[in-house]
Amino acid sequence: MPTQRQADPSAGTGSRIDARTQRSRATVLAAATDLLESTGVGGFSVDEVARRSGVAKTTIYRHWPTREALVLDACAGLDDRYDLPDTGTLHGDLRTFVADLVRMVEQAGWAAVLPSIVDAAERNAAFADMHAQIQKGHASLVSQIAERAIGRGELPAETDTALLASTVLGPVFYRRWFSREPFDAAFIDAVTTRAIRGAQGSD
Amino acid sequence: MPTQRQADPSAGTGSRIDARTQRSRATVLAAATDLLESTGVGGFSVDEVARRSGVAKTTIYRHWPTREALVLDACAGLDDRYDLPDTGTLHGDLRTFVADLVRMVEQAGWAAVLPSIVDAAERNAAFADMHAQIQKGHASLVSQIAERAIGRGELPAETDTALLASTVLGPVFYRRWFSREPFDAAFIDAVTTRAIRGAQGSD
C-alpha cells in the first residue's frame, strides 16, 4: 500500500537478535509475502510458507505464534514506499498522485491482496485495525496535498479533506475492484478535475 | 445487491421438479445464504450448510455438484430488489438513490459479503463473472437516472455514464469498505451535488 518513505527506526540500533535468526525471519517473511500476493488472506497457510521458505513450521511458530500474526506481518511487507509529488499546484500534485495511484492499483502486489484484507476486516478486529492503518496512509496522502493547496490559497481553509479523499480514492478504487473497467488518461484527468471542482465549489 | 424488481420468470410455469425436492432446495439455499452472510465466501462450507439445514450432504451435492456452485447460488439469494426513484429531477433522483444505497451498504446482508466476492473475483473466473453481473446492476441504476436527466435536458447528451457511476458509487463504496467513516446527510448531499456538478461541467 502506498505509504511515505521513512527512515527505518530499527536500522543501526545494534539489534540483539542474532544474524542467523534474523536471516531466517527474513526468509519466512519474504515467502509469506509472496504467498499472500498469490492467495490473499483467505488462502494463506503456514504449511505452505514452510514449504516455500524451507524453514520448519516449529521455527516459524516460534516467531509468529499464530497464522494471523504471520499474515499481518506479511501484509506489512507489501508496503510500497511513495514520494508525494510536489509540483507547486493543486492540479499538478493531484493529477500526478491519481496517475501514480492508478499505476499502483494496476500493478502493485498489494492491489490483489487488499480485497482479502477488506474482507477479513469485516470479521476480525486485528485485520480491521491493520486495514485502518493502511487506509489512514492512503487518506493522509490526499490530505497533505490538500493542506499544501490550502496554504497556497487554492482551496478554502475549511476544506473537508476526508470528503476530498472519498472523491479522489473512491472512483479509482471503484474502477479497480468493483467495475474493473480499464483506466485511461481521460479517467485520471476527470477524477482530478472533478475532485478539485467539488472541493472548490460550495455544496 | 440492489437490482430492479422483475417478474419471477419461473412463476406459474408448471415446473416438473416435485414439491418435496423444491422445499429441500429452498431450505438448503436459505441456510446457505444465512451462512454466507456470517462467513463470506472464504469461510463458507457445505458441511456447515448441511448442519444448519438438516439436509444430508449427499442430497446437497445432488443439487450443487461443488461448494462453488452452492456459494454462487447463495449469492443470488442476497439480492435486494430495488425500485429506482423517479422524482422528476436529476438532483431528486440521485439524492434519493445515494441515500438508499447508503442505507443498503450499512444494513443489507450482501454488504458484509461483497468484499469476499470481490476477493474471490481476483482469483476465480466464476466469481469474476458473478461480480461483473452485480456490478452491471449497480452501474445501470446510475445510468438509468442519467438517461432520464439527458432526456429532460439536465445533462449533456454525451454524458459519460460510466464515469458518473464511478463518481457516485465510488465515494459510497470507499466510505463503507475502505475508510469505514460514518455516513451522514452532509456526505450524501455532497456526493450527489459533486457528481452532478462533475457531469454538467466540462473536464
Instruction: With CA atoms as reference, report the closest residue to A2 among A199, A178, A172.
Output: A172
The number of residues making up chain B comes to 203
pLDDT band, residue A110 (cuts 50/70/90): confident
Ordered by where they begin, the domains of chain B are 15-76 (1.10.10.60), 80-200 (1.10.357.10)
Report yes or no: A61 at the B interface, CB cutoff 8 Å. Answer: no
How many Å separate Cα B149 from the centre of its chain? 24
- Best of A122, A127, A175, A193 to substitute, by most chain B Cβ atoms within 10 angstroms, is A122
pLDDT tens column, B66-109: 999 999 899 877 777 789 999 999 999 999 999 999 999 998 88
Which is more confident, B7 or A105? A105
Of B119, B166, B181, the CB nearest to A116: B119
Please report, as a single letter, which amino acid is at residue B78. Answer: L
pLDDT band, residue A11 (cuts 50/70/90): very low
H helix runs in A108-124, sequence order: 109-123
Which is more confident, A124 or A189? A189
C-alpha cell at B97: 438513490
Q: Residue B180 in contact with residue A132, Cβ under 8 Å?
A: yes
- Best of A45, A183, A194 to substitute, by most chain B Cβ atoms within 10 angstroms, is A194
> Which 106-135 residues of chain A touch chain B by CB within 8 A?
112, 115-116, 118-119, 121-123, 128, 131-132, 135
Q: How much is the pLDDT for A108?
A: 84
d(CA A102, CA A172): 7
CA distance to partner chain B, nearest, from residue A200 (Å): 10
Q: How much is the pLDDT for B1?
A: 66
Which is more confident, B14 or B20? B20
Q: Is there a contact between B119 and A122 if contact means CB atoms under 8 Å apart?
A: no
pLDDT tens column, B140-194: 999 999 999 999 999 999 999 999 999 999 999 999 999 999 999 999 999 999 9
**Contacts of residue A174, Cβ cutoff 8 Å, sequence gap at least 6:** B166, B169, B170, B173, B174
pLDDT tens column, A21-59: 888 999 999 999 999 988 889 889 999 999 999 999 999
Partners of A179 on chain B (C-beta within 8 Å) are 135, 139, 162, 165-166
| DSSP state at residue B66 | S
Q: Residue B121 in contact with residue B131, Cβ under 8 Å?
A: yes
d(CA A23, CA A9): 18
pLDDT, averaged across chain B = 89
Instruction: With CA atoms as reference, report the closest residue to B77 among B15, B38, B32, B134.
Output: B32
Report yes or no: B201 at the A interface, CB cutoff 8 Å. Answer: yes
> Which 150-189 residues of chain A touch chain B by CB within 8 A?
160, 162-163, 165-167, 169-175, 177-181, 186-187, 189
State the average pLDDT over residues A81-106.
Answer: 95
